[in-house]
Amino acid sequence: MKDPYSVLGVSKSTSDAELKKTYRTLAKKLHPDINSGDEKIAERFKEVSAAYALLRDKDLRARYDRGEINADGSEKGFAGGGFHPHGAGMGGGRFGDGFDPEEIFASIFGGGRRQRGPRKQRGQDISYRLRIDFLDAVKGGKKPLTLANDKTLNVTIPVNVRDGQKIRLKGQGNPGVAGGPAGDALIEIAINKHAFFRREGNDIHLDLPITLKEAVLGEKVNIPTIDGKVAMTIPKGSSSGRTLRLKGKGAMDPKTKKRGDQYVKLQIMLPEKPD
């Protein structure tokens, strides 16, 4: 083993406090949990820990300074015996008189004793509920949503989305553990009822109040659709409950890209006082 003072980059006159400070700095930089898979740095960390384990022990440090023991803690002139800083390995074993580099590392970052190589874990998903208007549900669009971390996103609403349908935003959930991927945001759609439109499948339904005169004589009227008003002719002699169809004026099927129809149910409104 190399001279422990050289390994740590300190002089023989360095105080115990400075020695500990130097080791903490090196341990934070070289620890295998931070440099996963780098064997050279892992060996350097072992070397630094062994050097500190010897020098932190006042008796061993004094004997080394007097030339009585080698850098590995063995007696001068003997191949074995004495202090073996590498003997316990890096799996959480003890160095010298109770020295454990993992405890130093834990004190640097806070918390309890670290386990080497923590397993990566995906963050948890977070559920949200987003209320949207009927026309946004049928035609699609964007709606703002504020997440748990106060971040606001414009959520893309798919065309013809359904009440209770969930939209997944990847990576917008809770952060992962030990470098694992973040969870997702799961957004449940809640659709407000429209004042007069109803949706059944891809078809739009509408109840249309008309006068008795319009029902008997027929009339061309403007009908509201999800695209705006269109002209429609009420046939002569129409009865209450009759349903007329506006072809292609319904909601779009997201798979086939074909639109449903709009059905207009006539409702004759009788006057309170006949003329």
Three-state SS string over 165-223 comes to: CEEEECCCCCCCECCCCCCCEEEEEEECCCCCEEEECCEEEEEEEEEHHHHHHCEEEEE
Q: Kindly give the residue spans of alpha helices, DSSP state H, lying in the chain.
A: 4-8, 16-30, 39-55, 58-65, 101-109, 134-139, 212-217
Distance CA 173, CA 46 (A): 38
Q: What pLDDT, on the 0 to 100 scale, is given for residue 110? A: 56
Q: Return the closest-CA partner of residue 181 out of 111, 122, 128.
A: 122
Distance CA 47, CA 69 (A): 17
Rg, Å, the chain Cα set: 39
- The 8-class DSSP code of residue 146 comes to E
Mean pLDDT (the chain) is 85
Residues 174-233: tens digit of each pLDDT:
988 888 999 999 999 999 999 999 999 999 999 999 999 999 999 999 999 999 999 999
Residues 51-63: tens digit of each pLDDT:
888 898 888 899 8
Taking the C-alpha atoms of 35, 37, 43 and 44 in order, what is their torsion angle to the nearest 10 degrees? -20
Lowest mean pLDDT: which of 99-113, 130-144, 156-170, 218-232? 99-113
Residues 75-102: tens digit of each pLDDT:
776 544 444 444 433 333 334 455 555 5
Strand-pair category, 185-191 with 126-132: parallel
E strand map for 226-269:
228-234, 243-246, 262-269
Q: What pLDDT, on the 0 to 100 scale, is given for residue 274? A: 61
Domains (ranges, CATH) in the chain?
4-109 (1.10.287.110), 126-191 (2.60.260.20), 197-269 (2.60.260.20)
Under 8 Å between Cβ of 243 and 203: no
Q: Kindly give the residue spans of alpha helices, DSSP state H, lying in 125-235.
A: 134-139, 212-217
> Judging by beta carbons within 10 Å of its beta carbon (0-12, 13-18, 19+), is residue 26 exposed, middle or buried?
buried
Q: What is the pTM of this model?
A: 0.54
Distance CA 51, CA 19 (A): 10
The letter for the amino acid at 173 is G
Residue showing tokens 């360095």: 14
Distance CA 99, CA 50 (A): 10
Q: What pLDDT, on the 0 to 100 scale, is given for residue 109? A: 54
Residues 249-259: tens digit of each pLDDT:
999 999 999 99
Helices (H) and strands (E) in the chain, counts: 7, 11
Structure tokens at 144: 């703002």
